[in-house]
Amino acid sequence: MTTSSLHGHVALVTGGSRGIGAAIVKMLAEAGAAVAINYRERATEAETLAKGITAAGGRAVAIGADVSEASAVADMVERARSELGPIDILVNNAGIAIVKGVDDLTEEDFDRTITVNLKSVFLCTQAVLPMMRTKKWGRIVNISSGAARGGGSIGPHYNASKAGTEGLTRGYAARLVKEGITVNAVAPSLIETDMMKGQTALVSRIPLGRFGTSEEVAQAVMLLVNNPYMTGQTIAMSGGMAFN
Protein backbone atom coordinates (compact mmCIF):
# COMPACT_ATOMS: atom_id res chain seq x y z
CA MET A 1 0.00 0.00 0.00
CA THR A 2 1.38 3.39 -0.96
CA THR A 3 0.55 6.63 0.78
CA SER A 4 -1.48 7.68 -2.26
CA SER A 5 -3.49 4.47 -2.64
CA LEU A 6 -6.76 5.95 -1.37
CA HIS A 7 -6.71 9.32 -3.13
CA GLY A 8 -10.19 10.05 -4.47
CA HIS A 9 -11.90 8.01 -1.75
CA VAL A 10 -13.99 9.36 1.13
CA ALA A 11 -14.12 7.54 4.47
CA LEU A 12 -16.44 7.86 7.45
CA VAL A 13 -15.13 6.58 10.78
CA THR A 14 -17.60 6.46 13.66
CA GLY A 15 -16.17 6.95 17.13
CA GLY A 16 -13.12 8.41 15.46
CA SER A 17 -11.94 11.00 17.98
CA ARG A 18 -9.59 8.83 20.05
CA GLY A 19 -8.09 5.39 20.58
CA ILE A 20 -8.66 2.82 17.87
CA GLY A 21 -10.89 5.17 15.90
CA ALA A 22 -8.30 7.95 15.81
CA ALA A 23 -5.59 5.51 14.70
CA ILE A 24 -7.82 4.37 11.84
CA VAL A 25 -8.57 7.97 10.86
CA LYS A 26 -4.86 8.80 10.72
CA MET A 27 -3.96 5.80 8.56
CA LEU A 28 -6.80 6.45 6.13
CA ALA A 29 -5.73 10.09 5.82
CA GLU A 30 -2.07 9.13 5.36
CA ALA A 31 -3.17 6.84 2.52
CA GLY A 32 -4.85 9.78 0.80
CA ALA A 33 -8.50 9.38 1.76
CA ALA A 34 -10.65 12.31 2.81
CA VAL A 35 -12.02 11.43 6.25
CA ALA A 36 -15.18 12.34 8.15
CA ILE A 37 -14.46 11.91 11.85
CA ASN A 38 -17.58 11.12 13.86
CA TYR A 39 -17.73 11.81 17.58
CA ARG A 40 -20.51 11.97 20.15
CA GLU A 41 -19.03 14.04 22.98
CA ARG A 42 -15.30 14.62 22.38
CA ALA A 43 -15.51 17.56 20.01
CA THR A 44 -12.13 19.05 20.92
CA GLU A 45 -10.24 15.82 20.18
CA ALA A 46 -12.08 15.27 16.91
CA GLU A 47 -11.55 18.86 15.76
CA THR A 48 -7.86 18.71 16.66
CA LEU A 49 -7.48 15.50 14.67
CA ALA A 50 -9.24 17.01 11.65
CA LYS A 51 -7.13 20.18 11.82
CA GLY A 52 -3.94 18.12 11.96
CA ILE A 53 -4.93 16.22 8.82
CA THR A 54 -5.82 19.44 7.02
CA ALA A 55 -2.54 21.07 8.07
CA ALA A 56 -0.67 18.10 6.57
CA GLY A 57 -2.41 18.63 3.23
CA GLY A 58 -5.27 16.20 3.66
CA ARG A 59 -9.03 16.65 3.86
CA ALA A 60 -11.02 15.97 7.01
CA VAL A 61 -14.07 17.14 8.88
CA ALA A 62 -15.26 16.41 12.43
CA ILE A 63 -18.98 15.69 12.75
CA GLY A 64 -20.82 15.26 16.03
CA ALA A 65 -23.65 12.73 15.96
CA ASP A 66 -25.22 10.00 18.06
CA VAL A 67 -24.95 7.12 15.59
CA SER A 68 -27.62 5.14 17.43
CA GLU A 69 -30.26 7.59 16.14
CA ALA A 70 -31.43 7.37 12.52
CA SER A 71 -32.01 11.09 12.04
CA ALA A 72 -28.58 11.97 13.42
CA VAL A 73 -26.95 9.41 11.12
CA ALA A 74 -28.78 10.82 8.10
CA ASP A 75 -27.63 14.36 8.93
CA MET A 76 -24.05 13.20 9.54
CA VAL A 77 -23.82 11.31 6.26
CA GLU A 78 -25.28 14.22 4.30
CA ARG A 79 -22.84 16.67 5.84
CA ALA A 80 -19.90 14.36 5.09
CA ARG A 81 -21.10 13.97 1.50
CA SER A 82 -21.58 17.69 0.98
CA GLU A 83 -18.18 18.64 2.44
CA LEU A 84 -16.00 15.76 1.22
CA GLY A 85 -17.91 13.86 -1.46
CA PRO A 86 -19.74 10.52 -1.67
CA ILE A 87 -18.68 8.10 1.06
CA ASP A 88 -17.22 4.83 -0.22
CA ILE A 89 -15.36 3.64 2.90
CA LEU A 90 -17.20 3.12 6.19
CA VAL A 91 -15.59 2.02 9.45
CA ASN A 92 -18.16 1.29 12.16
CA ASN A 93 -16.06 1.77 15.27
CA ALA A 94 -18.37 3.57 17.72
CA GLY A 95 -19.24 1.55 20.77
CA ILE A 96 -19.71 1.46 24.53
CA ALA A 97 -18.65 -1.03 27.20
CA ILE A 98 -20.87 -1.02 30.29
CA VAL A 99 -19.28 -3.50 32.69
CA LYS A 100 -22.04 -5.47 34.40
CA GLY A 101 -22.42 -8.97 35.79
CA VAL A 102 -25.41 -11.23 35.37
CA ASP A 103 -26.92 -10.14 38.69
CA ASP A 104 -26.71 -6.37 38.18
CA LEU A 105 -27.31 -6.14 34.41
CA THR A 106 -30.46 -4.10 33.72
CA GLU A 107 -32.76 -3.91 30.74
CA GLU A 108 -31.58 -0.34 30.20
CA ASP A 109 -27.95 -1.49 30.09
CA PHE A 110 -28.84 -4.20 27.59
CA ASP A 111 -30.90 -1.95 25.33
CA ARG A 112 -28.34 0.86 25.33
CA THR A 113 -25.49 -1.51 24.49
CA ILE A 114 -27.36 -3.15 21.61
CA THR A 115 -28.48 0.23 20.30
CA VAL A 116 -25.04 1.83 20.30
CA ASN A 117 -22.90 -1.18 19.38
CA LEU A 118 -25.19 -3.00 16.94
CA LYS A 119 -28.01 -0.78 15.71
CA SER A 120 -25.49 1.93 14.78
CA VAL A 121 -23.76 -0.50 12.41
CA PHE A 122 -27.07 -1.12 10.66
CA LEU A 123 -28.01 2.57 10.50
CA CYS A 124 -24.66 3.76 9.15
CA THR A 125 -24.39 0.93 6.65
CA GLN A 126 -27.86 1.59 5.26
CA ALA A 127 -27.12 5.31 5.04
CA VAL A 128 -23.95 4.98 2.94
CA LEU A 129 -25.00 2.07 0.72
CA PRO A 130 -26.68 4.20 -1.98
CA MET A 131 -23.42 6.08 -2.57
CA MET A 132 -21.39 2.88 -2.73
CA ARG A 133 -23.88 1.27 -5.08
CA THR A 134 -23.78 4.27 -7.41
CA LYS A 135 -19.99 3.99 -7.54
CA LYS A 136 -20.09 0.16 -7.68
CA TRP A 137 -17.28 0.20 -5.11
CA GLY A 138 -17.33 0.20 -1.34
CA ARG A 139 -15.49 -0.98 1.74
CA ILE A 140 -17.25 -1.52 5.05
CA VAL A 141 -15.23 -2.57 8.10
CA ASN A 142 -16.96 -3.24 11.41
CA ILE A 143 -15.01 -3.21 14.66
CA SER A 144 -16.10 -6.25 16.64
CA SER A 145 -14.37 -7.82 19.65
CA GLY A 146 -13.01 -11.12 20.88
CA ALA A 147 -16.11 -11.07 23.11
CA ALA A 148 -18.20 -11.97 20.05
CA ARG A 149 -16.92 -15.53 20.33
CA GLY A 150 -15.54 -15.75 23.87
CA GLY A 151 -16.81 -15.10 27.37
CA GLY A 152 -15.12 -11.75 27.81
CA SER A 153 -15.18 -9.68 30.98
CA ILE A 154 -17.63 -6.86 30.19
CA GLY A 155 -20.91 -8.77 30.27
CA PRO A 156 -23.35 -10.88 28.21
CA HIS A 157 -24.99 -7.76 26.75
CA TYR A 158 -21.64 -6.77 25.24
CA ASN A 159 -21.09 -10.32 23.93
CA ALA A 160 -24.47 -10.17 22.21
CA SER A 161 -23.79 -6.79 20.62
CA LYS A 162 -20.49 -7.90 19.12
CA ALA A 163 -21.76 -11.31 18.00
CA GLY A 164 -24.57 -9.45 16.27
CA THR A 165 -22.04 -7.17 14.59
CA GLU A 166 -20.31 -10.18 13.07
CA GLY A 167 -23.68 -11.55 11.97
CA LEU A 168 -24.46 -8.27 10.20
CA THR A 169 -21.01 -8.39 8.62
CA ARG A 170 -21.65 -11.79 7.05
CA GLY A 171 -25.23 -10.96 6.09
CA TYR A 172 -24.32 -7.76 4.26
CA ALA A 173 -21.26 -9.35 2.67
CA ALA A 174 -23.34 -12.16 1.17
CA ARG A 175 -25.85 -9.73 -0.32
CA LEU A 176 -23.40 -7.12 -1.63
CA VAL A 177 -20.65 -9.37 -2.98
CA LYS A 178 -21.70 -8.89 -6.62
CA GLU A 179 -21.89 -5.09 -6.32
CA GLY A 180 -18.22 -4.33 -5.73
CA ILE A 181 -18.79 -3.78 -2.00
CA THR A 182 -16.89 -5.80 0.59
CA VAL A 183 -17.93 -6.09 4.23
CA ASN A 184 -15.54 -7.39 6.87
CA ALA A 185 -14.82 -7.10 10.58
CA VAL A 186 -11.85 -6.78 12.89
CA ALA A 187 -12.18 -8.33 16.37
CA PRO A 188 -9.53 -6.99 18.76
CA SER A 189 -8.99 -8.14 22.34
CA LEU A 190 -7.12 -6.30 25.11
CA ILE A 191 -5.93 -3.27 23.16
CA GLU A 192 -3.99 -0.54 24.99
CA THR A 193 -6.63 2.19 25.12
CA ASP A 194 -8.09 4.38 27.87
CA MET A 195 -10.32 1.45 28.87
CA MET A 196 -7.25 -0.63 29.74
CA LYS A 197 -5.59 1.94 32.02
CA GLY A 198 -4.83 0.34 35.37
CA GLN A 199 -5.51 -3.15 34.00
CA THR A 200 -1.89 -4.28 33.68
CA ALA A 201 -2.67 -7.58 35.41
CA LEU A 202 -4.53 -8.64 32.28
CA VAL A 203 -1.25 -8.81 30.36
CA SER A 204 -0.59 -12.17 32.03
CA ARG A 205 -3.45 -13.64 29.97
CA ILE A 206 -1.84 -12.68 26.67
CA PRO A 207 0.69 -15.19 25.25
CA LEU A 208 2.52 -12.41 23.39
CA GLY A 209 3.09 -10.71 26.74
CA ARG A 210 1.65 -7.26 25.97
CA PHE A 211 -1.50 -5.39 25.03
CA GLY A 212 -2.18 -4.80 21.36
CA THR A 213 -2.00 -1.25 20.04
CA SER A 214 -4.57 0.91 18.30
CA GLU A 215 -2.17 1.20 15.37
CA GLU A 216 -2.11 -2.59 14.97
CA VAL A 217 -5.90 -2.64 14.79
CA ALA A 218 -5.78 0.16 12.22
CA GLN A 219 -3.32 -1.86 10.14
CA ALA A 220 -5.84 -4.71 9.98
CA VAL A 221 -8.55 -2.27 8.89
CA MET A 222 -6.29 -0.96 6.13
CA LEU A 223 -5.63 -4.50 4.93
CA LEU A 224 -9.37 -5.01 4.49
CA VAL A 225 -9.87 -1.64 2.80
CA ASN A 226 -7.13 -2.42 0.30
CA ASN A 227 -8.03 -6.07 -0.38
CA PRO A 228 -10.84 -6.54 -2.93
CA TYR A 229 -10.98 -10.35 -2.54
CA MET A 230 -11.80 -10.56 1.18
CA THR A 231 -15.42 -10.25 2.23
CA GLY A 232 -17.55 -11.67 5.02
CA GLN A 233 -14.47 -12.30 7.15
CA THR A 234 -13.47 -11.39 10.69
CA ILE A 235 -9.81 -10.80 11.53
CA ALA A 236 -9.23 -11.78 15.16
CA MET A 237 -6.49 -9.94 17.05
CA SER A 238 -5.90 -11.50 20.46
CA GLY A 239 -2.14 -11.79 20.93
CA GLY A 240 -2.47 -15.58 20.83
CA MET A 241 -5.27 -15.90 23.42
CA ALA A 242 -7.58 -17.62 20.94
CA PHE A 243 -7.33 -19.28 17.56
CA ASN A 244 -10.18 -19.30 15.03
Q: Which of 39, 158, 172, 229 is catalytic?
A: 158
Percent of the chain with pLDDT over 70: 96
Residue 173's nearest CA partner among 183, 187, 163 is: 183
The chain-wide mean pLDDT, for the chain, equals: 94
Q: What is the pLDDT of residues 143-185, one digit of tens each?
A: 999 889 988 889 999 999 999 999 999 999 999 999 999 999 9
Residue 2 has pLDDT above 50, yes or no: no
- CA–CA separation, 50 and 29 (whole Å): 10
Asked about 39 being catalytic, the answer comes back as: no
> For residue 179, what is the enclosing H or E element?
none
- CA–CA separation, 194 and 175 (whole Å): 36
Q: What is the pLDDT of residues 103-123, one digit of tens each?
A: 999 999 999 999 999 999 999
Pick the residue with more confidence: 16 or 4?
16
pTM of the predicted structure, to 2 decimals: 0.94
The architecture of the domain spanning 10-237 is 3-Layer(aba) Sandwich (3.40)
Residue 4 has pLDDT above 80, yes or no: no
At 63 the pLDDT is: 99
